[in-house]
Every structure is written in C-alpha cells, then in structure tokens.
Amino acid sequence: MIDLHIHTTSSDGSDEPIDILMKAQQLGLKYISITDHDSLGAYKKLKNIKVNNYFEGTIVPGCEFSVVHCAKPIEILGYGIDVETINSTGIVSDEKFLERENEYLKKMMDVCRNLGLKYSATLSVKSAKYFATQLMHADLRKYPENEKHFSKEIWESVNAFYRTCVNDESSPFFLNQTKNYPTVQEAANLIKKAGGKAFLAHLYGYFAADYEEFLNSIMSLNALDGIECYHSLHEMDKTNYLLKYCKEGNLYASGGSDYHGTFKPTVKLGESIKGVKIPFEILEPWLSGCKI
C-alpha cells in the first residue's frame, strides 16, 4: 500500500519527517511521498538521517504547489522532482512564505476590525507550520460572539472559510492571491524541468458549481500528467469517477490521505477514506524515475 500525500512540520502538519517514516513502516506502507505546501524542508531534514533505519520502503520526492486557475487558488502535486532544482528557483522559499502569509493575516485582521469581529491583536505567522487563513479561522472561533456572522459550514470548516470567503471576490475576507501564485502551466513546467510529474490535487476539496466542467477546464490545458483520485475528501463514487476519467483520458492516477497528524485527526496515514487503503497499482504505471 502507498500514501502519496503527507504533510509534516515543514508546512502545516504536526509530525516531523522522521515520525512519518516510523509510522509508515509500522503500517507496512511501501511507497510514500511527503508533499508539504510550497516547501521541501522535510527533505532537507531527511538528508541528515539514515532513512533505511526508520523506513524500508521507497520515498517519492514530492511537493504540493499553490497555483492559480480561473482566478482561484488550487493545488498541484509534483512527484519525482529533483529537490535541488526546485530549491534553486526560490519558489518554495520560507522567507517568501512568511512575508506573504503575514501580509494576508494583516489584511484579514483589518477586515475583522472593520466588521466589529473579535480577534487577537497579537496574531502573526511565525513559521511555515501555519497559513494565515488557518490562524485567522482558529482565532475567530475562540470568541463565540463571532459565530453569528458566519454560516455553520464556514464556522466549522477552515477549508470552507478559505474556499468561500478568502477566495470569493464578494467576501470582505477576499485575498487576491493570484499575483503570488504561478499558473497551472508554469507549475507543471517547473515540475517537469525538475524531472517530475504533475497531478491535480483533491478535485473535490475545491468549491465548484460543476466539478466536471471545472475538471475539464484544468485538464484541457494539457499541462498535467494525472489526477489525485484517492483522497480523504473523495468518497468511493468520486474516486471511481476520477479513475475512469484518467483511464479514458490516458492520464495517470495518484492517491494519498492528505495526512496532517493531529491537525486533521480523522485523516489516517495510508488511507483515503475510512477503511480504504491506497493501492500500489495506481502508482506502478508512472513509478519509473520518480523515486529516491
């Protein structure tokens, strides 16, 4: 079994890379990929240890890149990438991340002040472990009097807050992130320059009126190699639809849990949805040249 979508403390996960290795070994996973958001810091940490002492399987070098499509942020997974090639571009710079996210946080705090929402004035993004949206949403929820200003879904889900407030031009919380993110084509070109393959991440994690139309608009760019079919947000009917889409479109399929440790306690390493393991068979057709 495999898991090709895992986050560590180098982005917004709770586990160190070495902890991921030990857990993957205990679960009997054969292939894993650490895919932190716009960060390759985990691979820098792994350079300093003897990986085989902790994990006997294979690591597929990966990263989850923030990109823009149709004026909305989405994510692209890069697999089999040369870490040094990506690092040399500066696109995954921790300094750039902190500067960008603190700018976003300041804008959202200004919105809270203007709307009369209660928030902590000392908020700041101090590491790549947290995004501004995550900090803001968690902080707003500390004050029960804020709940009446949001729908139930937005109040309870940081993903809903991000997708439908931060990415909605009609929302006071809207952030114009398009100026900071590469396009799908640009990210895919970078991934391929680094010797890797590019996949659309978690289609059903986005908010779209028509998912088939949204998917077709992305894949019509002819920039990506495949689609993440197995994912913790994809029930089996959605997974099967995407697997069929890949087969009919001559695309590769990938799959991962989107594990974040204690930050997403219902998501289990090595599973997409509860009880569903991610099969090696989807990785086999494109595995060659994508491992370390």
pLDDT digits (tens, 9 = 90+) for 35-66: 999 899 999 999 989 999 999 999 999 999 99
Q: Which pLDDT value is given to residue 96?
A: 79
Both tokens of 133, joined, read 């949206």
Q: How many CA atoms lie within 13 A of 261 on its CB side?
A: 18
Order of strands, edge to edge, in the sheet holding 31-34? 2-6, 31-34, 58-59
Q: What is the DSSP letter of 165?
A: I
How far apart are alpha carbons 180 and 263 in whole angstroms? 26
Plot region of 195 (φ>0 → left; ψ -120 to 50 → alpha; else → beta): left
Q: Which residues pair with 68 in a beta bridge?
A: 73, 183
Q: Which pLDDT value is given to residue 11?
A: 85
Q: What is the per-residue pLDDT across 261-275, written as a single tens digit (0 to 9) for each?
A: 998 899 999 999 999
Report the predicted TM-score, pTM, of the whole model to 2 decimal places: 0.85
Spans of all domains in the chain = 2-89+182-286, 94-178
Out of 13-17, 94-98, 228-232, the most confident range is 228-232
Superfamily of domain 2-89+182-286: Metal-dependent hydrolases (3.20.20.140)
Q: What is the per-residue pLDDT across 112-169, written as a single tens digit (0 to 9) for each?
A: 999 999 999 999 988 766 789 989 999 999 999 999 999 999 999 998 999 889 988 8
* Residue 289: pLDDT over 70: no
Helix, strand, coil % (nearest 5) of the chain? 45, 15, 40
215 contacts: CB under 8 Å, gap ≥ 6: 200, 203, 227, 245
Nearest to 63 by CA among 32, 44, 40, 46: 40
